[in-house]
Amino acid sequence: MSSNYQENVQFNAPSAINIAYNEILDFPAHWHNALEFTIALKSGCKYRVNGVLYELSKGDVLLVWPQQIHETVSAPLKGSVFVQFPSTIIENNLDLLSITRFMYGYHHISVKKEKELANFISDKIHELTDIYESSYPLSETKCKVCIYDILLKIGDKVIKEKREELNSKSNKGSIFKYVHAACNYIVENSTDDLTQAGVASQIGLSTYYFSKIFKSYMNMSFPQYLANIRVRNAIRLLSDENLSITECAFTSGFQSTTAFNKAFHDITGYSPREYRKLYR
C-alpha cells in the first residue's frame, strides 16, 4: 500500500456524501477510508481493485471498500457515476461491521449475472442522486436510508452465501448466531483486555470450539479480528493531533506500543506516524 497514495476524501455538506460523474479518463492507484460504489453508464469502463482488473458493461456495479487500493484504468467520459460515503455508516452498526470480512471481498456485480441486485443498486443510487441535488431539508437522512438499503441488500446476499457454505459443513444452523454475537461483543468491548477464552465464555462456548468456528466463518483468527477492530479505533484517534501515538495505541485497546505498531503496519501498510502524516 505504501507505493500508492491516500486520497483524503472531503465530503460535501450537509449530506456527508459525494456523487459525481467521471470527468477523468484514468486515475492512478490510490486508497481512502471512504466507501466508493460505481455504476457503469457505458460499457468499457476498466477498474483495478486490489490488483484485480474489472471491465464493466453498462449497468454493472463496482464496490470499493475502505482502504482498498483501486484505480481507473480507462473509462469513457461520463461513462460512470460514483458515490462516496464515510465508513462510519458501517462502523456505527455492529451487525454490518460483523460481516465486513465477507462484504469487503465482494467487488463486481454483473448486470448479466445478477440483474436484480445490479438494478436495485443502480436504482437506489439514481434515487440518491435526485435527493442529493434537491433542497429537501432532510436530504442527508434520506440519502443515508438509500445507502443502508444498498448495504442491507449486499449484506443479505453475502450472509446467504456464507451460511450455505457453512451449512454444507455442519448441520448446526446456529453457528452464524454465535459468531455474530461474538463479533458484536468484541466490537463493543475492543478497548478492554479481551481474551479468546473470555469471549467464548460470554457467548456460551468452549474456547476450542469458539476458536474453530470463528476462524472458519471469519477467515481470520480471533486475535486478527480483534487487531483489525482496534486498528480501526486507532485510525479515528490518529486524526486528533492532540493525542500522542502512544495514547492512540492504549486508548484503542492495545496493550503495548510494539503490538500496536506491528498490527497497524500489517493492516494498513503504514506506520501510525506515516498514516498520521498522510491524513494531515
Structural domain for 237, as ranges = 175-279
Of 18-22, 88-92, 109-113, the range with the lowest mean pLDDT is 88-92
**66: pLDDT strictly greater than 80:** yes
pLDDT band for position 166 (cuts 50, 70, 90): low
100's grid cell: 465486513
Residues 103, 210, single domain; the answer is no
pLDDT over 90 for what percent of the chain?
45
pLDDT band for position 118 (cuts 50, 70, 90): very high
Mean pLDDT computed over every residue of the chain: 85
Question: How many domains are there within the chain?
Answer: 2
pLDDT of res. 2: 47
Residues 127, 152, single domain; the answer is yes
pLDDT of res. 266: 84
Q: Does residue 141 fall inside a structural domain?
A: yes
In this prediction the pTM is 0.67
Residues 170, 176, 179, CA angle at the centre, nearest 5°? 115
Residues 211, 149, single domain; the answer is no
Taking residues 182-201, report their average pLDDT.
92
Among the residues of 168-244, which ranges form H helices?
A: 175-188, 196-203, 207-218, 222-238
Residues 220, 270, single domain; the answer is yes
Taking residues 25-33, report their average pLDDT.
80
**31: pLDDT strictly greater than 60:** yes
Q: Which amino acid is at 181?
A: A
Q: Does residue 85 fall inside a structural domain?
A: yes
Most confident of 88-92, 118-122, 185-189: 118-122
Residues 209, 135, single domain; the answer is no
Domain end: 113, 142, 163, which one? 163
Q: Does residue 170 fall inside a structural domain?
A: no
Find cell 449486499 and name the residue: 154
Return d(Cα 91, Cα 236) in angstroms, integer. 11
Taking residues 111-130, report their average pLDDT.
94
Q: Residue 82: in which H helix or E strand, if any? A: strand 80-85
pLDDT of res. 255: 92
Return d(Cα 17, Cα 132) in angstroms, integer. 8
Residues 150, 230, single domain; the answer is no
Asked if 44 and 55 touch (Cβ cutoff 8 Å), the reply is yes
pLDDT of res. 58: 94
- Tens of pLDDT along 225-252? 999 889 888 988 888 889 999 999 999 9
Domain end: 142, 163, 184, which one? 163
